[in-house]
Copies of this chain bind each other. A is one copy, B any other.
Amino acid sequence: MSENLLETTSPLSMALISVDIVALRLNSGRLQVLTSAARHPRAKHDRALPAGRIDPTLDEQLEQTARRQLKILTQAEPSWLEQVETIGNSLRDSRGWSLTVVYFALLRNEPELDTPDAQWLDVGTCCNLQLPDLAYDHQRLLKSAIERLCNKIQYTTLPLYLLPEAFTLADIRDVFQGVLGKSPPMRSIRNRFGNGDIVEDTGKKRYGSNRPASLYHLKKGNQNRLFNRLYESTQ
């Protein structure tokens, strides 16, 4: 990439833009972030968040840029995608003013859909972050996306987007455990998720060396829902 793009434009109007994605999944109870090889040869670390540029021939909306980048690393569709923040400053990139729109994605654990460049790295839990070294300022972006997840998981149905199609109510507890490092009591999880119109009993069971657990799936037409209390045992 040319190192002097900025010189060719009015400094008041344009800047280098990239879209970075913090894609998280839960794998065997561990929260993980999707990374790709850092492309910049001078990067301090060799893994980075998936990132890319707007392609005006392909992208009509910013979100499409994010989805396209994600698709390079995994065929899986994100079960959740939202913007986190936009960071712009003159320090981030040596070429001058640059601007990064950060997206936050949740994926179900489907490793068979990943391309070879994809690597998932453990990030620890909210209580005990153990962030991998990432190129550029990506560790910081990762941190704020995880913070967003840790907040929203407590008053929305987001935990369900980290689970496979069919799941048990105890699986929801494990999402909390994996993300936050602690979980509300099963009683509270049942009260919140087990009733009402969020999930539906499939009638099937998951069998183990114990009493089998009912399998649920999201009710159709399910939207992300807000609850009006936080779990306090997880604060």
Contacts and interface: CB of A to CB of B under 8 A. Distances in A.
A227 to B, nearest CB: 9
Given A86-B86, A101-B86, A228-B229, A54 B9 contact: no
Interface residues of A, number: 40
Nearest to A55: B12
Interface stretch (A91-99, A158-166, A176-184, A212-220): A91-99
Interface in A1-36: 1-2, 5, 8-17
B86 A61 contact: no
A62 interface: yes
A17 B10 CA distance: 11
Residue among A14, A57, A229, A230 facing the most chain B CB atoms (10 A cut-off):
A14
Contacts of A143: none
A33 to B, nearest CB: 21
A97 B11 contact: no
B17 A99 contact: yes
A221 to B, nearest CB: 20
Contact of A62 (B54, B87, B228): B87
Interface string A88-127: 1111000011010100000000000000000000000000
29 contacts: A1-B10, A1-B13, A5-B10, A5-B14, A8-B8, A8-B9, A11-B56, A12-B53, A12-B54, A12-B55, A14-B14, A14-B15, A14-B16, A15-B17, A17-B88, A59-B90, A60-B90, A61-B89, A62-B87, A62-B88, A62-B99, A83-B86, A86-B86, A86-B101, A88-B101, A99-B99, A99-B101, A228-B232, A229-B230
Given A60-B91, A61-B89, 13 more contacts: A5-B10, A5-B14, A11-B55, A12-B54, A15-B54, A56-B97, A61-B88, A62-B86, A83-B85, A83-B86, A86-B86, A99-B99, A228-B229
